[in-house]
Structure 1
Amino acid sequence: MRDDEMVSAYLEHTRHLAHKVVHGADPYGTALCVMGATLDVFTTYEHAGDVYGLWGALTDWVELKPDEEALAVGHMVSAAREWLALDHEDDDAVRGYLVRWHDFVGYDANVVG
């Protein structure tokens, strides 16, 4: 599979997973799946590290502060909704999304400008 085909397949898969985060019964478990899927494109998708870091921070929130699980899951749902609304072909939009969310979760985004 060519790199561009791999990235396209990844983006389609993450849209499906984001939909499951929003509408499914297990947002946390699905967020872990986003992280797993992202590992497959670390060398082919320029934003993979930041996507992984974002969803890692959101899932860590649940793991490290279980008393805040409902709040963390609410933010997972919001991040997933925004991911679904993104034009993934618009690099500036993707970078903006990642910077906003990384700033929110306190993760130092490695987003290149």
Structure 2
Amino acid sequence: MSAYLEQVRHLANQLVHADDPYDTGLQLMGATLDVFTTYEHAGSVYLLWGALTDWVELRPHEEALAMRHMVTAAREWLQLDPHDGEAVRRYFQHWLYEVLGYDREQR
């Protein structure tokens, strides 16, 4: 698991400094495919980066806003301890429900 979390940290750092964070967002989503059964928050990682990259694809007139959210989400990830389950839960609650508007009842 530590290799996956290190990869996510590396990609988040890369995204913060990218000229175009979209591709790195796709990489963050894709990196999660192999850990769905081993990392408790894998589904949330996938949903977050899937929603942010979909935002760019489906609402091109809001691309700049979506990209800013990607950078903010990556920065906030880098600030938390990914081994602190409660901090990770709060992070995903904020991003998935408060920012992206997922329905809590559907998850």
Please tell me the TM-score bracket, short chain as reference. Answer: over 0.9
Moved over 2 A (4+): 107-110
> What TM-score comes out, normalization by structure 1 length?
0.88
Structure 1 vs Structure 2: percent identity of aligned residues?
Answer: 67
Q: Name stretches of at least 5 consecutive residues in structure 1 with no aligned partner.
A: 1-6
Does structure 1 residue 84 correspond to structure 2 residue 47?
no
Partner Cα distance (1:22, 1:40) in 2 = 24
Q: Deviations over 1:27-57 (max 9, x none)?
A: 0000000000011110100100011001111
The one of 49, 54, 57 aligned to 1:55: 49
> What TM-score comes out, normalization by structure 2 length?
0.93
Does structure 1 residue 35 correspond to structure 2 residue 52?
no
Amino acid at match of 1:75: H
Partner Cα distance (1:56, 1:89) in 2 = 22
Partner Cα distance (1:64, 1:88) in 2 = 30
- How many equivalent pairs are there? 104
Q: Is the 8 A contact 1:35 1:52 kept in 2?
A: yes
RMSD: 1.0
Amino acid at match of 2:100: V
Q: Is the 8 A contact 1:87 1:93 kept in 2?
A: yes
SS at match of 1:107: coil
